[in-house]
Structure 1
Amino acid sequence: MLESTSLTLLFFILFVLLVFSAFFSSSETALMSLNRYRLRHLEQEGHAGAIRASQLLDRPDRLIGLILLGNNFVNIFASAIATIIGVKLYGENGIVIATFTLTLIILLFAEVTPKTLAALHPERVAFPASFILKPLLFILFPLVWFTNGITNRLLALLGVSPEDSSSVSINREELRIALMEAGSLIPKRHKKMLVSILDLEKITVDDVMVPRNEIEGLD
């Protein structure tokens, strides 16, 4: 059927598939790069994109399963389309030409570029993408459930459970780093005071006490 399709339509289908491939690649990077503390804050404020992104990240095994299913499907389909185009244009030699060309195109325009963009601006990519991924997960859930069932059994053999989502609680060192990276958002004096508060637990009585013979007083 595809062999009889016009080249114009084949190129259009290939272009659409590459767009979907870039979408899946960027979505994965963006969602996994989100700051979980900011995400929780936006979710509490009722941000629709943050709520959907948080729901997707509650089960990262399902999210990754969905993205990989979609990405592999469109890439394999794109490979088939590119092969047909190559054969139509260059005969048998077109198979090699199509394979090399498509690999380069996918690497540049459907992997490296969208992933880099998503890593630099995760919220701009992740929140809009969540509006597509959420219903897509619902539609493809049986297939995602089947593949994840096999994957989860393999993870269980390694002692890993996908149910164990990472905690969003922040520890002292993470808070210290966040304060130091705040830059001009927090005045230097306030920043120093907050960092000092974090060090209170390390302070002992000997550090703050004044020997009796050094106390100055009035009779």
Structure 2
Amino acid sequence: AYDDIRNLFASQKLSKLRGYKAKHFSFNVDGGRCEKCKGEGEITVEMQFMADVHLECETCKGKRFKKEVLEVHFEDANIDDILSMTIDDAVAFFEKYNQSKIVNKLKPLQDVGLGYVTLGQSSSTLSGGEAQRIKLASFLVKGNTKDKALFIFDEPTTGLHFHDINKLLKSFNALIAKGHSIIVIEHNIDLIKCADYIIDLGLEGGNKGGQLIVQGTPEAVSKDKTSYTAKYLKEKLPS
């Protein structure tokens, strides 16, 4: 979506008058980014025997772009305002101004429960689960493809609210409907109960685990007398 956002800003009247191209609205290349901090918004001070210190860039005040680039607005927002928006806020903003192409590329991020992430957030600050869900969203954007894939997710529900878990499940179902397959390593019963097939390992963790306890459909697994998973799964399934 960032390419489309940069193209949108490059198409504004002030951009055309000043000769700004899409690259001027990227903090990854020379042109419009702050050259003092190289588009980082902060200056890193290396400490030889301590953790590095990160200070807000005095030139751009953390906004990552040159002052003149920030003077270009789409409606009432400049590029820094846009990148500071959460996915949820950005979808609402671009829907308001009929930017359906951008909205369609941001929606899948909402669908996988990432509506709280800001557009300009560094990938290095994302958790493992968030990074997995971004990859999932990228496949949802592609639509139907001839090549089918096997996805392996490691506890993708970590940190998610119950309502966001439902969104994640809908995204999984969307992938399956397109012919893809999914393997999930998970402890969340609300997700486990929706699986087509369960392989339960245990009984305990670490050195006391790793043994195959039971496998089968959720209904079959819930009847096992030794599985810890079965005990809690049974409570979630219709009687």
Same fold (TM over 0.5): no
The structure with the greater share of residues assigned to strand is: 2
The structure with the greater share of residues assigned to helix is: 1
Higher relative contact order (CA 8 A, sep 6+): 1
Larger Rg: 1
TM-score by length of 2: 0.18
